Amino acid sequence: MTAERLETFPESLPFLSRLCYNKIIVLLFYSMEISWLYRHRRQLGGFFMIVKPKTRGFICTTAHPVGCARHVADQIAYVKAQGAMTGCKNVLVVGCSTGFGLATRIAAAFGCGAKTIGVSYDHPASGKRTGTPGWYNNAAFETYALEDGLYAKTLIGDAFSQEMKEQAAELIQKDLGQIDLLVYSVAAPRRTDAEGRTYSSVLKPVGAPFKSRSIDLSTNQIKEVSIEPASGEEVAATVKVMGGEDWQLWIDLLKEKGLLAQSFATVAYSYIGPEVTHAIYKNGSIGQAKKDLQETALRITEQLSAIGGKAFISVNKALVTQASAAIPVVPLYISILFHVMKEQGTHEGCIEQMDRLLRKKLFASPIPVDEENRIRMDDWEMDSRVQSAVDSLWNQVTDENLKQYADLDGYWKDFYQLFGFGIDGVDYDADVDVDVKIPSVE
């Protein structure tokens, strides 16, 4: 609307009509200005809003950038408090932005002083949507690493793609020369392979229906669950997504390009758990994928013998992650397990476990492994005293005594902290800039 057109407004119309007309024009100008500001918010320095948790099913659809940054800072502080350790120097973490992958990257960087390159599939804030927690975690990690004079760069994209593998290889060659540790920590619902075929993973039993007790996370009440078994096609697809094929492809490419250092090590993560979870996990569709992961580790070790390279599966403790929240039975088991392990003083979160993995196991001489060459970070969870107490409470727990026998509050605290909520010292009523930049990402 131009000034000339405004001047042509009929003077014969009543005063109130002209006033309304002018107000409409002002509102239009404001609307155009707000739209321009939104489109250029990154150049102008941020986009502020109050962020609250919004849940849908077993995921939270919002993430708090300040809370995520504080959570990363707390994990860094834990590693620093344990003191410096010897181990890796140049590290690639595939699946670096949350959970075990993030914790391993933190332990490697702030414990060993390692240079790290991370790969993750995350997105920044867009419209009214916040960024993913992984985006904010990556941003915080890089910022803190740079403050400490540590090399840290992050590649955003699909870890399954050949393009991402080539990008990572190019960056390693340019900045690091070679890597001495590759951490493979990818938990994904689907994978598109090099031929363009897409596979989806499922969390189902194999061979027979599964019935057990679980907890309805929407009501915090115990219920019976029944899950039909996976088809052969679903099992095969789950192995494609969560098995060892992509891990092997990463190793093949980096080895071919001469980017693996002498005595190189690589580790991927798995879970076994107690009998109560076996039907849905160890013996289920995801368990078949983890068996493939284990077989891949043995093949990689043989493949890398010329450089003294080794591949390991680290069997980790049950923890609250975005992935574990989706598995029936597991949330109830975790809540009871947390109650028992906190009482016995052996509870660990992601960062405590991954710090212990690097500090006490992966770089020990000799490396402590079980009969199948696996590193057992679930050793404290599977301790007979812990499992005996968990079994007893599992058989006694009801809706009425749930809070007495299970650490449901602890479960939910850990769940919300995955998304940056419930972190001490964060004002969740304040406007925060959700348009956060990762220093190394254009």
Which residues define the annotated binding site for substrate?
A: 271
The SS3 assignment for 289 reads helix
Q: How many CB atoms lie within 10 A of CB 43?
A: 6
**What are the residues facing 225 on neighbouring strands?**
212
281 is catalytic: yes
Whole-angstrom distance between the N-terminal and C-terminal Cα of the chain?
37
Q: State phi, psi for 54 to the nearest 5 degrees.
A: -130, 120
With beta carbons less than 8 A apart as the criterion, state whether 315 and 374 touch.
yes
Chain centroid, CA 181 distance in Å: 19
With beta carbons less than 8 A apart as the criterion, state whether 201 and 241 touch.
yes
Of these residues, 281, 333, 411, 416, which one is catalytic? 281
Closest to 185 measured CA to CA, from 364, 88, 314: 314
Q: Which 8-state DSSP code applies to residue 328?
A: T
Q: State phi, psi for 433 to the nearest 5 degrees.
A: -80, 110
Closest to 350 measured CA to CA, from 86, 101, 88, 135: 101
The SS3 assignment for 378 reads coil
Q: How many CB atoms lie within 10 A of CB 233?
A: 10
Sequence-distant (6+) residues with CB within 8 A of 216 are 222, 223
Structure tokens at 393: 């409470």
Q: How far apart are CA 195 and CA 199, in angstroms?
A: 12
Q: How far apart are CA 72 and CA 79, in angstroms?
A: 11
Q: How far apart are CA 117 and CA 94, in angstroms?
A: 9
Integer angstrom CA distances of residue 378 from 279, 295, 322: 18, 20, 19
Sequence-distant (6+) residues with CB within 8 A of 190 are 198, 199, 200, 201, 241
User: Annotated active-site positions, please?
Assistant: 281
